[in-house]
Structure 1
Amino acid sequence: MLRRLIFISFLALNINFVYANDDIKNPILFSQAEVLNEYTTRIPFKLVDHLIVVKAEILNKKGNFIIDTGSETLILNKVHFSNVFNYQKKQEASSGIMHSVENSYEKHIKEFKLQNFKLENRNSDVIDLSHIEKSKKIKLLGVIGYSILKEYEIFVDMHLNQITLTKVDDFGDKLDKHVYLEKIVDSLDFKLKHHTIVVKGTINNHTVRLGIDTAAEFNQINKSINKKALKYFIPKKRLRLTGIGKRKIEVLAGKLHRVKLSETTYFGPMLTVLTNLSKMNEAFGTNLDGILGYEFFAQKRTIINYQKEKLYFINYPLNHQ
């Protein structure tokens, strides 16, 4: 079954946008969202393979959006928004983690509405995501990335299969002071590199820099990482993976052991692929040794606060398996 999984990570380049001439005047609606108050909403999600997918509607089209902290912008699927002559072609290509994506377009969105929440004057990339629709067997309208998420504190809860968004001020303080019933038990600082969450940690006591990405179906470790860290990557099989531009590569997949992000934040063995991150590092001007994705969130109920550059953690119930 693993051989049929498609690995996706929409780590787009930081681009200077050229605004389009026309607007999407209709809001994006999340029909399954539960609005708690004017600042906070909960959105149920389903896991499609290892991707976090929410139901949404825009321009009278109903379908799915992937929640992707690794994407800089909102992305619309060109298959369902095909009037590309209304869009402004991008000056530069977007970049996926394994390649660059050319023939992408931009759309200036007048209003993005999440029930009571309304975001105005946002940009969207328009990219052909048909191969992802085919492989995942879902109607994919697009991807919700950093440009939408950054104004909220985001609780990614794999236990309840829901995302909680709560509005924050410029300092990252929640406008709703009573969001979580659960107790926050730990926290971790991160650095925001463009739109990428970067944390420091260790693998087998070797210091590493790791990106956090909700749309990475598997963790990734760079082939060029120190041998001391690679000693605890235990390969199991080879996989053929496909990225956003349909390019296929073959990688080693296995379990990564001895990952720690702090004295109190550590992980059990995580499904990981061994790959080359040089193109991504070049695109972002970063030097990441790996990416933590689904396996990270499956082990840690995680709250992301971009303004404070903090991750917070809530324990799973004791009977969670």
Structure 2
Amino acid sequence: MLRSFYFIFFLAFSINLAHANDGDTYTPIFFTQAEVLNNHITRIPFKLVDHLIVVEAELLNKKGNFIVDTGSETMILNKVHFSDFYNYQRKTQETSGVIQSIDNSYERSVKEFALESLKLRDKDSDVIDMSHIEKSKKIKLLGVIGYSILKDYEVFIDLHLNQITLTKVDRFGNKLNNNVYLEKIVDSLTFNLKNHTIVINGTINNQNVTFGIDSAAEFNQINRKINKKALKYFIPKRRLSLSGVSNKKIEVLAGKLHRVKLSETVYFGPMLTVLTNLNKMNKAFGTQLDGILGYEFFAQKRTIINYQKEKLYFINYPINTQWSK
């Protein structure tokens, strides 16, 4: 088999954060390219860095990039750019990553996270060294935006227009403004929220499997220990060296995964997938998953996430565009 090296960034944290009771002053984050439609709806353009969804933002007079990651429980800051933060409070327990536990992690409370006119107060963050990600992706990376920021919104991740639409919802998941989407929602799925992880049931070759949804997984992952009838439709192509947020490397088998269905009407074409052992990932997620659906999922499905209702909604791509991505 061909042997090549890819940096594949997976963020999937299970973090128990304590509030840092400090005397921080006003520390807003500004999304410099956001379009505020009204008090409840904000659109943020993003760029794809390889297969990562990246938005531009400014924090404490530092302008750079944040990765949008539904697999991360909290906001994570890069201590390369926030050295004053990371010395504040060392974590007493490890932060779990996809490849292995991450040490040398610190906690910090950000008093105010400002998304243009939308403000979220008292958000905890983890602070870790992401210099290896910056080097690999050739971007100035300030941090990661995760579940703790996204959960109060209906989140439309649109890889057709390369934009994220955040719509404020109430505690029942009802949008505070219903005039959001110009296009028709054509399908939906119910998911279970396990801690901060979106968990859905599906099948591969009619074999039952459980998936997690992670917008920062550059390739899908499938557990090498799943049913052999399902693995029959994983077609290997080559071996890859895989790096996670902890900068540790493992070798995996990469190929195409076929016959994935999440319902009678929600199914997928072949998806780039890596075959690996998910034991440590399941520990990180705090659940038992047979696989992770990431970029390849969003590339085929324009997806709306409603955390409060535990629902995914789908809007069709224009004809033929999804297969060109």
The answer to whether structure 1 residue 265 and structure 2 residue 266 are counterparts is yes
CA displacement at 1:84 relative to structure 2: 4.3
Secondary structure class of the residue paired with 2:29: coil
Q: 1:14-61 CA distances to partner (integer Å, 9 max, x unpaired)? A: 314251524262210001001110000100000000000000000000
Q: Which amino acid aligns with 1:298?
A: A
Mapped to 2, the partners of 1:145 and 1:36 lie a distance apart of 23
Amino acid at match of 2:72: S
Q: Is the 8 A contact 2:35 2:44 kept in 1?
A: yes
Number of residue pairs matched? Answer: 321
SS at match of 1:109: strand
Give the corresponding residue for 1:71. 72
Distance 2:313 2:239 in 1: 34
Aligned to 2:256: 255
Aligned partners of 2:241, 2:251: CA distance in 1, in Å? 4
* 2:149 maps to 1:141: no
SS at match of 1:221: strand
**3-state SS of 2:58 partner:** strand
CA offset at residue 2 of structure 1?
A: 9.7
Q: Give 2:113's aligned residue.
A: 112
SS of the counterpart of 1:83? helix
Contact 1:18/1:88 (<8 A) preserved:
no
Distance 1:288 1:209 in 2: 5
Amino acid at match of 1:204: N
**Match of residue 170 from structure 2:** 169
What pairs up with 1:158-307 in 2 under 5 angstroms?
158-307=159-308
Asked if 1 retains the 8 angstrom alpha-carbon contact of 2:79 and 2:86, the reply is no
Structure 2 Cα separation of the partners of residues 3 and 196 of structure 1: 31
Query: Are the aligned partners of 2:97 and 2:284 in contact in 1 as well (CA < 8 Å)?
Result: no
- CA drift at 1:96: 1.0
Shift of 1:282: 2.6
Distance in 2 of aligned mates of 1:85 and 1:227:
45
Give secondary structure in 2 for the equivalent of 1:14: coil
Matching residue's letter, 1:313:
F
Q: Which moved more, 1:86-95 or 1:57-66?
A: 86-95
Following superposition, the deviation at residue 87 of structure 1 comes to 2.0
Alignment of structure 1 residues 41-52 onto 2, 5 Å: 41-52=42-53
Unaligned runs of 5+ in 2: none
Give deviations 1:97-156, integer Å, cap 9, x for gaps. Answer: 110101100111110000010000110100100000000000000000000000000000
In 2: Cα distance, 1:20 partner to 1:78 partner: 20
Rounded to whole Å, the distance in 2 between the matches of 1:79 and 1:89 is: 16
Contact (CA 8 Å) 2:15, 2:96: kept in 1 or not?
Answer: no
Please tell me the residue identity of whatever aligns with 1:310: K
Distance (whole Å) between structure 2 residues aligned to residue 85 and residue 166 of structure 1: 32
Aligned residue number for residue 12 of structure 1: 13
* TM-score, normalised with respect to structure 1: 0.97
Amino acid at match of 1:135: S
Let me know the Cα RMSD of the aligned residues: 1.4
CA distance in 2, matches of 1:282, 1:302: 26
- Separation of aligned partners in 1, 2:11 and 2:281: 11
Q: Which amino acid aligns with 1:107?
A: R
Q: Which amino acid aligns with 1:14?
A: I
Contact map agreement 1:69 1:213 (CA 8 A) in 2 = yes
AA partner of residue 237 (structure 1): R
Q: Is the 8 A contact 1:22 1:108 kept in 2?
A: no
SS at match of 2:280: helix
Between 93-102 and 51-60, the greater mean CA deviation after superposition: 93-102
Question: Which whole-Å deviations, capped at 9, do the CAs of 1:250-270 have from their partners, x for residues lacking one?
Answer: 100000000000000000000
Deviating more after overlay: 12-21 vs 295-304: 12-21
Q: What residue identity is the alignment partner of 1:74?
A: M
Q: Which amino acid aligns with 1:5?
A: Y
Instruction: Say if 1:5 and 1:49, in contact at 8 Å, map to a contact too.
Output: no
The 5 A counterparts of 1:72-91 are 72-84=73-85, 86-91=87-92
- 1:2–1:301 distance in 2 versus 1, CA, 3 Å: farther
8 A contact 1:20–1:106 mirrored in 2: no
Distance 2:152 2:98 in 1: 25
Question: Which residue is equivalent to 1:98?
Answer: 99
Distance across 1 between alignment mates of 2:5 and 2:145: 24
What is the letter of the counterpart of residue 105 of structure 1?
Y
- Contact 1:20–1:87 under 8 Å retained in 2: no
The one-letter amino acid paired with 1:303 is: I
Quote the Cα distance in structure 2 between the aligned partners of 1:21 and 1:59: 17
Give the CA deviation at 1:91.
1.9
Q: Please state how far the C-alpha of 1:13 moved relative to its aligned partner.
A: 1.6
* Change over 3 Å in CA distance of 1:175–1:3 after alignment to 2: farther
